[in-house]
A and B are shown apart, each in its own frame.
Chain A
């Protein structure tokens, strides 16, 4: 079962962290249609988190059509985020890995690598919009 976690240093509200984790797990194929998410009680026991936060996150995921609550049974994955096909995933991973290696070899540090990635991403995305 998906293991939820919280990072208090990110500044992202806890409920949004849970929503993002479930989406990410779907995209990366860690969870599939039919899988059960941790119950509110399980999440509360695991994370010492406010149950209302978990409820709010699951509501949003339900609203997005990704999960559905079955009374007495739990919350189940019902929707898909069209995960990246395994072949494509592996190819993209390889090319990104090559790029990161090149960047370090050229003397860029962590911060510069992250900044450059963010910059290119923004540029490409803006092309798409314009």
Chain B
């Protein structure tokens, strides 16, 4: 690779990094994840957002074969992922919530364990990160600060040299400075190695500068999936007098009616959509967009009146 423009984002092209088909997981009678279809592009940094209990961790654990699906399949770079299927598992590196390490182990012990557990193992990469962090190899995990533990867990995951890095709530337990340092390391790996990253979070505000693909999950279902910029630019908020006009607007995601006026979130298709002059149209920020989709009612608890808004628009 040479030159600053040699990194092709290539979103939406070529083979997807991660695909799920009809993926589902039940715990007894509880549906944690239901009918999940995803196709996520290689080289993207994908933010998986949703409230607690939406199914984010379940999805990530299915992607990393820590859970067996009740139905459906997961493929990472075309290789099926399931327990015992080495070809698929080697494509995925995972950092679990709270960045677990073996407390009594030194960093050198962790490196040795990584070597024994992985066919592909880049010890030099991990050692270089430890050196950058000023962490001696004899240091034990329990003597590290929270931010250092996160960085060590990340370095060990990157040393696996897997093309897909999965992070479960990586920022939740970190202070703002440690968050910044953690994401800076992840973004550098994306820039250098074309890594694909799938990370869950319930903090939307921090995701805009790092992610270029958004997946919104709620009630165990995918509500929205697509390139962040396209999703933001294709949604408009319309405000206007409460009239029967509302019925004539296509692509309504949700609507609210007061006595005299109505507010609607619409998903548009054309380059420059035209609305009736009575409607004022404005853009919507990423955070408000996510909230609007999260506030949609659970589709399981209402009759299927209209097509669900979960489809991904092709570029």
Contact = CB atoms under 8 A, between A and B. Distances in A.
Interface residues of A, number: 29
Contacts of B11: 52
Interface in A76-94: none
B9 A44 contact: no
Interface stretch (A20-28, A65-73, A99-107, A110-118): A65-73
B287 to A, nearest CB: 9
Q: Which secondary structure characterizes the binding site on chain B?
A: loop
Given A52-B45, A74-B4, A75-B4, A8 B209 contact: yes
Contacts, number: 86
Contact of B190 (A50, A59, A74): A50
Given A11-B285, A58-B5, A72-B3, A49 B210 contact: yes
Interface in B149-200: 180-181, 183-184, 187-188, 190-192
B4 A40 contact: yes
A40 B208 contact: no
Contacts of B228: 13
Contact of A53 (B3, B180, B212): B212
Interface of A: 6, 8, 11, 13-15, 39-41, 44-45, 47-53, 55-56, 58-59, 69-75
Interface of B: 2-9, 11, 43-45, 180-181, 183-184, 187-188, 190-192, 205-206, 208-212, 228-229, 232, 283, 285
19 contacts: A6-B209, A8-B206, A8-B208, A13-B208, A15-B229, A40-B4, A44-B188, A45-B184, A50-B211, A51-B7, A52-B7, A52-B45, A52-B212, A53-B209, A58-B5, A71-B3, A72-B2, A73-B3, A74-B4
Given A44-B190, A52-B43, 7 more contacts: A6-B209, A13-B228, A41-B192, A48-B187, A48-B210, A50-B210, A71-B3
